Structure 1
Amino acid sequence: MKSNMQSSTSSTVVIDQLENVKWTLSIFAEVLLLLIKSVYFIVESIYHMVVPLPEKSLADDIVLITGTGHGIGKCLAMQFADMCAKVICVDINEQSNAETAKEINVKWKGKAFAYTCDVSKLENVRELGEKIKNEVGTVTVLVNNAGIMPCKSFEAHDEATIRKIFDINVFAHFWMLDTFLPGMKVLNKGHVVFLSSMAGVLGLKNLVPYCGSKFAVRGQWCKLYLYNRQTASCINRNITFVFSVSGLSEAIIDECKDDGYENLHFTVIYPYMVDTGLCKKPKIRFPSLLPLVTPESTAKTIISAVRKNLLELSIPGPLLLINHIFRCFPHKVAMDFKDFLGGGVDAHDD
């Protein structure tokens, strides 16, 4: 009996040792694969610095853009129409939005559709979604462009203004995604563009709530990407957790990555300073190096990023890379470099 018990114990020890060896070999194989893939992705990235990525056609797409009454949104609508896409113009200002659609239809008859909507309100966005689905079709490209940017000191912001900034700059993204992403999943085809800002990468004086809202948009992008890889369940499931921990854009990519939606793409854009009228008193120390960018050139760059399926892009392009590099240094180094460049905005009334 005693001999049998010793034999059984020895067998258990051997099995445990074998399991430990298998686990160790499995981890080693995963690490090796990770290193190989990392080298491949680095080489691929260097290759595409020389050889540009191919650009996909947008001719069969239905493109919805928010904030098309003026600025970047209007330019995006005009240029997407030039790509032979159907363009859905959405803005809270009915008159200016109708003018955008009219200009497009003069050149491309029947290509533009104008809808008036306050995208900060979920019930309005859902009603908009039903109208568009019945009257135009399923949206395949969604550009979350609408936003506001009050330029004043933090103490000068009241509660209503801060709530409005987040309602339009952040929560509107949730409502648009909740309404239009399911249709893209049914088709297994779609592209979502998040307009963030370089103010969503580094903080700027006189833009405290605005910076907070754009940091949140940046967070949304990644988590949605991974969502496609991990689950097909409803986007609403993790909204509270995602916003409070990581923000909006990284959260969405995170949730979309692993679920077989191979043709869903996400792009986050970080413009520097665009001459749209939102920023009335820009501070630019080196205008030849970092000039005020035009809405037309910004729209052109965004559409190129969509056609190449880029994950993220700053305008001008090098700014994001420069930020990533300086974030590897002590915080004071990064802040001193930002102060040296001297970009920002002066406070002014809306």
Structure 2
Amino acid sequence: MMKRCSELYLDMLMILVMLGTPIAMFLSVMLKIYNRLFGSKSVKSIAGEIAVVTGGARGLGKLISIELAKQGCHIVIADIDLKQAEETANYLSDSYKVNAKAYKVDVSNYEEVVELNKNIIHDLGKATILVNNAGIMLFTDPSNPDWKEVQRMINVNLTANIWTNRVFLENMKEVGKGHIVAISSVAGITPFPFHPEYTSTKYAIRGLMQVLRIDLKMEEKFRNIKTTSVFPTFLNTNANILEMLKSSTFSKIAVAHDGEKVAKRIIQGILQNEEEISVPEIKLAFSKCTDLWPVEIFDRIVKRILLKEEK
């Protein structure tokens, strides 16, 4: 009898949640707009902290590293391309008078991530900011990708985040503060048609960061360790992405955003402890709203937008 009452209670609770969801979504959007216009502009200082940026040798990773250096952070460029990483590190040291060092590392390899952390502690100190930026989006043959390329995408886009979070979070717990940033994608909140592998990894990152955020909040002693998930759309930092966008139907609904502006927005989010950021801003709220649409309607709209249907 008690089991039956418990199940009935849960059913009633689910119904109430479902009925209240549209209202909650509306209030969420209004709150976000209010906070952007009138919310507190107080920011924290990250000067003197050591920040690890994976895939930081070029593109968005390099731009994020520059913005962190402007805040007075010492920068670790963790990249598979050591030559380019060293060039970026040297530029940061010369331009912003911070300590910057490059390390060649495959962040999808757990043992290499552990070794990276040991080297950073020896050379610079304990890193308390982690920006998981490294990622792969395109295949050599998008229509029929080689399984090795698929596995590499999974390793870099997802597995690497699991290992780096695990290793560098220990530093943050020891010193009682820190910030972990995941550069996901709008594909992590809205399906990216024709790219199931990429979409899967980005949805997984969203879930990984949600769990991490909740876990940290459940422990009072970890309240000063913050997380930020970033969901950017296409950026102008990658020529291959720009070419793909130009030649595809995605150009109907998306434009390439300026990488420098996105990097500045990400740093603003870190300084203000924002937990989720999307570029464009409205995309996150819009995607959450579309989760309420009937599947048939959502699929039909996406199809009509992306496919050139015959008259």
Normalising by the residue count of structure 1, what TM-score does the alignment of the two structures yield?
0.73
Identity %: 27
Distance 1:78 1:342, change over 3 A: same
Match of 1:324 among 275, 288, 297: 288
Q: Is it true that 1:281 corresponds to 2:233 in the alignment?
A: no
1:166 corresponds to: 154
- The residue type equivalent to 2:177 in the other structure is K
C-alpha deviation, 1:281, in angstroms: 1.1
Q: Is it true that 1:51 corresponds to 2:14 in the alignment?
A: no
C-alpha deviation, 1:336, in angstroms: 3.7
Aligned residues: 281
Structure 1: distance between partners of 2:34 and 2:186? 26
- The residue type equivalent to 2:50 in the other structure is I
Consecutive unaligned residues of structure 1, counting only runs of 5 or more, are: 1-23, 25-30, 230-256, 344-350
Distance 1:164 1:133, change over 3 A: same
Match of 1:63 among 51, 55, 67: 51
Partner secondary structure for residue 104 of structure 1 = helix
Q: Is it true that 1:215 corresponds to 2:203 in the alignment?
A: yes
C-alpha deviation, 1:201, in angstroms: 1.6
1:246 corresponds to: none
2:72 corresponds to: 84
Which deviates the most, 71-80 or 42-51? 42-51
Match of 1:228 among 206, 211, 216: 216
Consecutive unaligned residues of structure 2, counting only runs of 5 or more, are: 1-8, 10-15
- 1:10-21 alignment runs, 5 A limit: none
Q: Is it true that 1:133 corresponds to 2:97 in the alignment?
A: no
1:152–1:206: 8 Å Cα contact kept in structure 2?
no
Match of 1:144 among 116, 132, 137: 132
Write the deviation string for residues 272-314 of structure 1: whole angstroms up to 9, x where unpaired. Answer: 1112325231144457xx4201221111111111111111111
Distance 1:308 1:338, change over 3 A: farther
- The residue type equivalent to 1:273 in the other structure is F
Structure exhibiting the larger radius of gyration computed from Cα positions: 1
Write the deviation string for residues 184-231 of structure 1: whole angstroms up to 9, x where unpaired. Answer: 0111100000111111122223321111111111110011122224xx
1:154–1:208: 8 Å Cα contact kept in structure 2?
no
Normalising by the residue count of structure 2, what TM-score does the alignment of the two structures yield?
0.82
2:76–2:101: 8 Å Cα contact kept in structure 1?
yes
- The residue type equivalent to 1:266 in the other structure is T
1:265 corresponds to: 226
Distance 1:57 1:339, change over 3 A: farther
Structure 1: distance between partners of 2:60 and 2:192? 21
- 1:227-266 alignment runs, 5 A limit: 227-229=215-217, 257-266=218-227
Partner secondary structure for residue 156 of structure 1 = coil
Write the deviation string for residues 312-343 of structure 1: whole angstroms up to 9, x where unpaired. Answer: 11111111111111221212332344445549
2:4 corresponds to: none
C-alpha deviation, 1:69, in angstroms: 1.4
